[in-house]
Amino acid sequence: MENIQWGGHGRWIEPFLGSGVVLFSVQPKRAIANDVNPHIIAFYQKLYDGSLTPAMVREHLTREGKSLLAEGEDYYYEIRKRFNRNAEPLDFLFLSRACFNGVMRFNKKGEFNVPFCRKPDRFRRAYVTKIVNQVSNLCKIMKGKEWEFRVGDWRQCLAESGNDDFVYLDPPYIGRHADYYNQWSGRDATDLAHIVQPLPCGFALSMWKENRYRSNSYLASWNGVEQRTMTHFYHVGSTESLRNSMEEALLIKQGYEAPLFDRDEISSDAVQMSMAF
């Protein structure tokens, strides 16, 4: 938000919601939050409409955490099988915090298939409280907002954008993590570039730019954009050698980029706000 300008009069539109971290940090009054992963959308929808509460999260993680501690790794896989049958949002939360490195991955049948993190004592009281506090914070953020959570194709989501809206795009990173809930192909990435650039509203796209091994040629397909970059370190990787720094790019439609600033002059309030998330 330090890099874009948007009046906030329309809707904040995210066709690729993912974890929702950007939406919950921006906190727009109106939003369309879309993702192809039905489990993420179901979890946030239930928090939004109040059918899933922080108290329910505490009770579930405390109970299942005790069983995990008593039975070990086998119990994690029992929960994983149960989730793949019933798709319960609370089991989804349990798995996301007990799986290997917090990875979000599904097989071709749409089944969650990430292995156990091998920490049977994962859900200690302090950790459960931390998760409950995070959920409570999300509930407070969503209260009174006009947000619509959707499961669907990103194309339909973009087709509904209007002049006052702002579209934030965080698609699967082409050439890197192509598997998420389904396949993301080079054709999909090309279609995205062609569909987004003529939109009547502002937009910004997050994408990797380069690391010490290679550069992302896909960025050349985006015209009429301002490019802002920042170095980011990837902590997710099966081995330490795969965890490296990456230069990330934020591509912003011209006319919607914020003036460049001296980072040393950021106000203390802005620093505190960024640290809160």
Q: What is the pTM of this model?
A: 0.86
pLDDT value at 274 more than 80: no
The predicted pLDDT at position 213 comes to 82
Residue range 3-32, pLDDT digits in tens: 999 999 999 999 999 999 999 999 999 999
pLDDT value at 236 more than 80: no
Sequence-separated (6 or more) residues with CB below 8 Å from residue 230: 247, 248, 250
The predicted pLDDT at position 6 comes to 94
DSSP 81-112: HHHHHH--HHHHHHHHHHBGGG---B-TTS-B
- Mean pLDDT score, 250-263: 86
**Burial class (CB within 10 angstroms; exposed 0-12, middle 13-18, buried 19+) of 65:** buried
- Read off the amino acid at residue 131: I
Proportion of the chain above pLDDT 70, given as a percent: 87
User: Where is mean pLDDT largest: 178-187, 190-199, 234-243?
Assistant: 190-199
Pick the CATH number of 12-36+152-275 from 3.30.1490.100, 3.40.50.1220, 3.40.50.2300, 3.40.50.150: 3.40.50.150
Which of the pair, 137 or 240, is modelled with greater confidence? 137
Beta strands in the chain (DSSP E): 12-14, 30-35, 146-151, 166-169, 202-210, 225-233, 245-253
- Mean pLDDT score, 191-198: 95
Q: Work out the angle at residue 212's Cα, subtended by the Cα atoms of residues 211 and 218, and round it to the nearest 5 degrees.
A: 40
The predicted pLDDT at position 268 comes to 46
| Structural domain spans, the chain | 12-36+152-275, 49-139
Superfamily of domain 49-139: Adenine-specific Methyltransferase, Domain 2 (1.10.1020.10)
- Mean pLDDT score, 206-231: 89
Residue range 33-64, pLDDT digits in tens: 999 999 999 999 999 999 999 999 999 999 99
Predicted confidence band at 184 (pLDDT cuts at 50, 70, 90)? confident
Question: What's the mean pLDDT when you consider all of the chain?
Answer: 89
Q: What is the DSSP letter of 242?
A: G
Beta bridge partners of 2: none
